[in-house]
Amino acid sequence: MNLISNETLQPFDFVLFGGTGDLAIRKLIPALYFRHCEGQLPDDGQIISIGRTGYGTSEYRQMLDDKVREHIEDKEFDAQSWQEFLERVHYCSIDVTSVASYAPLAELLKGRDDHVRVFYLSVAPDLFNAVTHGVHASGLITENSRVTLEKPLGRDQATAEQINDNLAAVFKESQIYRIDHYLGKETVQNLLALRFGNALFEPLWRNDRINDVQITIAESLGVEGRGAFYDETGALRDMVQNHLLQLLVIIAMEPPASIDPDAVRDEKIKVLRALKPLVGIDAIENSVRGQYKAGAYSSGPVPGYLDDKDVADESNTETFVALKAEIGSWRWEGVPFYLRTGKRMESKTTEIVINFKKVPHSIFDTADGFNTPNQLIIRLQPQESIRMRIYVKAWGDDIQLQPVYLNLDFNDVFQKRKLIAYERLLLDVIRGNPTLFMRRDEVAAAWAWIDPIRAAWEQYQYPTRGYTAGTWGPSAANALISKDGLRWNED
Ligand code: BG6
């Protein structure tokens, strides 16, 4: 799978709007630094950070020096390489809503039209149009330009379409890279490798062998200073519309004919379109909304969602969602996909569990009556692993079956630094490989499935259920799955 290689990139200008923001400091700058250390950035590859703060380049570099360091582990930090990396970084203070203020950026880009030019929009979505207009009106968009957008792309299908229309007025679709950072995670790409690099799983990957699929993205963090944004957004838009649906799609898609970007994305979109709509009362019966209350972890107590100063007093925004989804296709008819995500849950755990069917007829005794079927558990976080649960005979003179795990821990196998998701994605933008990015029609199809769920929540004034921080979410989420005779995998 040629999704990343160590070739040196073409000369580039990486224009980072939101260069003083949290994402730039925690993820984007460290990601570029790591690729610099790997020798992958060409000598003529510069990073131009844009922000409102009136820094000069040397003050900005100083700020990075102060703030980025804590996001790079000691063993991965090399003082000399860091200083060399900082030499690549420039800063322009720009009011993105005023075309006149793009002049210093134009100056830095002058005579460099033959370079790959990336406009990375790590800014609030309500500034997307201003930036697009600003770079266009300043004559900065070249044939070699690409634009990268962070989610959320709109609040619903209509607003996403507006953003996409505005982008389409100045960029070609092939120049637009819509990021979902989950697609940059190693294990997500390993899912593609697992499914399409091995003949073993394909005959099992269907409704006569698989009973149900569970996808969990649990976080232990709360809204962490993003209360105002989050309160307007909620978990359905923040996590389900993008990350959870992307994981579902990669599990459920048909084998593409090749790893070409459009071959992969053509298969992904078929799954999104085959999701059975959850409309009206169906949406209510197949979803649970939750909101965390104060609770405690081993590190100490944490406040509830409503205690956040930026959250509205009586807010009914969900910090947790569980859903039962179904895909109408020959392969998946009758297989429920249970999705759940939440903040302030027991631990940071992202995993996909494929539960296979029980044996049709048992000739053995088992301690659990074969109630725990064969499972394939693909864990993305915290440690990346693939585990397969099978029954074996326990040692002893009687024949008693017991479930055990075949365990593949990626840290043990590869014993090297794992790329952070953004490293791969930023390089893919520079080298022009859109395989791991969302096409316009994919974003629209994801919203088309999400919008009726939100509409039903509004129509029925569907409340959020409280759950204590540090737990696995509201008990209603257990009821959602137990009414089908199943339970969430929480082993
Ligand atoms: C982001 C969401 O897209 O993903 C955040 O906006 C969430 O709310 C984050 O915390 C989770 O990402 P990860 O990689 O830490 O699982």
Catalytic residue of the set 71, 133, 243, 361: 243
- CATH label, 183-419+439-482, candidates 2.60.120.380, 3.30.360.10, 3.50.50.60, 3.40.190.90: 3.30.360.10
Q: Is the CB of 231 under 6 A from ligand 1?
A: no
Tokens describing residue 443:
């974003």
Phi, psi of 293 (to 5 degrees): -110, 175
Domain extents for the chain? Answer: 12-150, 183-419+439-482
Instruction: Compute, in angstroms, the gap from residue 422 CA to the centroid of ligand 1.
Output: 12
Identify which of 22, 149, 181, 418 to mutate to test ligand 1's pocket (most ligand atoms within 8 A of the CB): 181
Please give the number of the atom of ligand 1 that sits closest to the Cα of 221.
Answer: 10
Q: Are strands 320-325 and 337-342 parallel, antiparallel or unpaired?
A: antiparallel
Domain 12-150 = CATH 3.40.50.720? yes
**pLDDT at residue 284 in the model:** 98
Which residue, 362, 363, 318, 352, is CA-closest to 474? 318
Beta-carbon contacts of residue 330 (< 8 Å; ≥ 6 apart) = none
Residue with tokens 């993003």: 226
Give the pTM.
0.93
Per-residue pLDDT of the chain (491 residues; tens, 9 = 90+): 444 456 778 999 999 999 999 999 999 999 999 999 999 999 999 999 999 999 999 999 999 999 999 899 888 899 999 999 999 999 999 999 999 999 999 999 999 999 999 999 999 888 999 999 999 999 999 999 999 998 889 999 999 999 999 999 999 999 999 999 999 998 888 899 999 999 999 999 999 999 999 999 999 999 988 899 999 999 999 999 999 999 999 999 999 999 899 999 999 999 999 999 999 999 999 999 999 999 999 999 999 999 999 999 999 999 999 999 999 999 999 999 999 999 999 999 999 999 999 888 888 877 666 667 899 999 998 889 999 999 988 888 888 888 899 999 998 888 788 888 899 999 999 999 999 999 999 999 999 999 999 999 999 999 999 999 999 999 999 999 999 999 998 87
Residue with tokens 């844009």: 50
How is residue 349 written in tokens?
Answer: 């755990």
Residue 6 is predicted with a pLDDT of 61
- Residue 238, ligand 1, Cβ within 6 A: yes
pLDDT at 5: 55
Any ligand 1 atom below 6 A from CB of 219: yes
Q: Determine whether the shortest distance from the Cβ of 150 to ligand 1 is under 6 A.
A: no
